[in-house]
Amino acid sequence: MAEGLPEEIIKTLESYHNPPNKLRTWQEITARYKLALENYKNICFMSGDVREQKVATHAEIRTLGWVLGKPEKDIVKDIVDNSNNPGFPPQI
């Protein structure tokens, strides 16, 4: 311990100072939002227990939507449009 910090701790500290996935522009955030919607669509059509992946991707979509300033109803509509669950029937 007196010799210094272990290499893993040094790498972790460096990653906090220079995060690799820092979103900087609206274009990057929008691209990430669209990518998350595609991932959600793929996850919805997977078989097996994918609930944790679905919940994590759903949360990411909502967060990115909020950052983009999208209204809640538009975010929910995007999620429903990219899932295999039937949405509510259209109202006439």
Q: Which of 3-12, 29-38, 77-86 has the highest mean pLDDT?
A: 29-38
pLDDT in tens, 27-65: 988 999 999 999 999 988 888 888 888 889 999 999 999
% residues pLDDT > 70 (the chain): 75
pTM of the model: 0.66
Could you tell me which of 21, 82, 34 has the C-alpha nearest to residue 54? 82
Cβ neighbour number for residue 65 with a 10 Å cutoff: 21
Per-residue pLDDT at 17 exceeds 70: no
